[in-house]
Amino acid sequence: MKLHCLGDKTLLGRPAVAVVGSRQMSDYGKWVVGWVVPELVRRGWVVVSGMALGVDAESHKVCLDQGGKTMAVLASGVDVVSPKSNQWIYERVLKEGGLIVSAYKNGSQPKPERFLQRNRVMAQLVAGVIVVEGARRSGTLVTAKYALDLGKEVWAVPGRISDENSWTPNWLIDRGARPLVDFEDLAL
């Protein structure tokens, strides 16, 4: 598969971890991103996410705020910002030495089926995936399943069983994903 890139392509050769979760990020999800992403930056890992609303956007923001490097994988061409409200993330990623990646040529608009491909590309580019939050039917679960199929490490942050956004991480833990409750759990 040919990847289209905009920004620092050398990031493709660095250790990377995806941080993914719900577009309807809870306060807990925001706290988790603020807890885990600075540790990833401290370790020198590239933080990868999909530039969507919620956990993705927060992961890119916290990474950049900590002086880290981030990679945004899009479901559109690298020249098409989606959602438009995340234009500021797109610009910061490029300005601060990050990378925008896509499997689609310039000008390609996001379509529902392209998000599945984006999730697959994300899983291929990283050593592991951290699942912060996700509802029962979510792209977060798709990304984690791709990573597991590829033999990548998957960590899931446990949540309350009464929270819809905790369904995916709790289900993944039940199926053998590593629970992320301490930074010692982040060994690669």
Put the strands of the sheet holding 128-131 in their side by side order: 4-7, 99-104, 70-77, 46-49, 16-20, 128-131, 153-156, 178-179
Per-residue pLDDT of the chain (188 residues), as tens digits, is 799 999 999 999 999 999 999 999 999 999 999 999 999 999 999 999 999 999 999 999 999 999 999 999 999 999 999 999 999 999 999 999 999 999 999 999 999 999 999 999 999 999 999 999 999 988 899 999 999 999 999 999 999 999 999 999 999 999 889 999 988 877 76
CA 119 and chain centroid, separation? 9
Residue keyed to tokens 């984006």: 118
> Which tokens in the block code for residue 168?
């995916």
Q: What is the pLDDT of residue 168?
A: 95
pTM over 0.85: yes
Q: What is the pLDDT of residue 187?
A: 76
**Class (C level, CATH) for 4-186:** alpha beta
Q: 3-state class of 25 per DSSP?
A: coil
Can you give the residue ranges of every domain in the chain? 4-186
Contact indicator for 70, 63 with CB cutoff of 8 Å: yes
**Nearest to residue 21, comparing CAs of 50, 1, 45?**
50
- Which run of H or of E encompasses 18? strand 16-20
108-120 tens-digit pLDDT: 999 999 999 999 9
Q: Which residues contact 92 (CB under 8 A, 6 or more apart)?
A: 60, 61, 64, 98
Radius of gyration of the chain (CA): 15
Contact indicator for 1, 103 with CB cutoff of 8 Å: yes
79-97 tens-digit pLDDT: 999 999 999 999 999 999 9
Return d(Cα 116, Cα 105) in angstroms, integer: 16
Q: What is the pLDDT of residue 188?
A: 66
